[in-house]
Amino acid sequence: MSTLEIRDLHVSVETKEGPKPILRGVDLTINSGETHAIMGPNGSGKSTLASALAGHPKYQVTAGTVTLDGADLLAMTVDERARAGLFLAMQYPVEVPGVSVANFLRTAKTAISGEAPALRTWGKEVKGAMENLRMDTAFAERSVNEGFSGGEKKRHEILQMELFKPHFAILDETDSGLDVDALRVVSEGVNRAKETTDVGVLLITHYTRILRYIKPDFVHVFVDGRIAEEGGSELADRLENEGYDRFLAAKTA
């Protein structure tokens, strides 16, 4: 059993005018096997939280701690965090021209598990995982994310989640831009990972639709750089009906 513990996290983003505070004291604990949904208005800092956890150099932690099973995550480099078991499915996955998906997956898997995967079984595993996600296996020979459609990029992120078997996965709007079938296929992928690896999931979304496939144990409302309210999955339905007015009004009051 693993625990990812975020305590009083303050994060600023680098801008031309200097650092701009975005996260203002985030507290969140995720255990293996748990699924936490984060919902909140545009610009409230959800992606900032995801990027800061992964160690994006643009974001500076100004206060607070993040530990993974007691180890100081914030002291680790980006690649060390990934090797420690953290995975981020990005809202906007980056294109890497000239690097094939097959080469990328093998290189990353080798880095994460500390040894090259057995050639024959790995090939089968990749092929199987792609088929499960209804990805044409021709994608293996294409450059990473280059020319992928929005939905294809998202499937490719979940493909990695399934293959790399992280302890904790942050899914930043993985559901955005997916058609109904893709949403189901991708959700099944996440659920497979949950079943087989007991991964803890932090699922950032704007829609309750995906929560019908991936049942959250907790729902957090993210407003203005911090968690404004927490509840069970019923909170998501309430947000869908009422919007965020209640929280925003409270803020300006």
Partner 1 sequence: MAVTTDHTRAVADGAHSHSFGTGAVPQGSRAERLTSFDLADIPVPSGREEEWRFSPVARLQPLFSETLAASGVQVTVTAAPEVKVETVGRDDARLGTAGKPGDRTALTAWNAFAEATVVTVPAEAVASDVTSVRISGVSGEATAAHVLVRAERHSQAVVVLDHDGVATVSETVEIVVEDGAHLTVVTVQDWADGAVHASSHRARLGRDAKLKHVVVTFGGDVVRITPDAEFTAEGGEVEMVGLYFADADQHQEHRLFVDHAVPSCRSRVTYKGALQGQGAHVVWVGDVLIRAEAEGTDTYELNRNLVLTDGARADSVPNLEIQTGEIEGAGHASATGRFDDEQLFYLMARGISEVEARRLVVRGFFAELIHEIGVPSVEERLLASIEAELEKSMSVITGAPVEAAEVTA
Ligand X SMILES: Nc1ncnc2c1ncn2[C@@H]1O[C@H](COP(=O)(O)OP(=O)(O)OP(=O)(O)O)[C@@H](O)[C@H]1O
- Binding-site size for ligand X (CB under 6 A) equals 12
Residue 44 is classified by DSSP as: S
Between CA 231 and CA 242 the distance in angstroms is 15
**What SS3 state is found at 136?**
coil
Q: Which stretch binds ligand X (CB under 6 A): 13-21, 27-35, 178-186, 231-239?
A: 13-21
- Binding-site size for partner 1 (CB under 8 A) equals 30
DSSP labels, 3-15: EEEEEEEEEEEEE
Between CA 250 and CA 193 the distance in angstroms is 38
Between CA 29 and CA 24 the distance in angstroms is 16
Should residue 96 be labelled a site residue for partner 1 when binding is judged by CB under 8 A?
yes
Check: CB of residue 154 under 8 Å from CB of residue 90: no
Q: Of these partners, partner 1, Mg ion, ligand X, none, which one is at the site of residue 143 (CB under 5 to 8 Å by kind)?
A: partner 1
103/176 with CB nearer partner 1: 103
Should residue 205 be labelled a site residue for Mg ion when binding is judged by CB under 5 A?
no
82/133 with CB nearer partner 1: 82
Which residues are at the interface with partner 1 (CB under 8 A)?
54-57, 77-79, 81-83, 87-88, 90, 93-99, 103-104, 107-108, 111-112, 143-144, 160, 164
Which residues are at the interface with Mg ion (CB under 5 A)?
46-47, 91
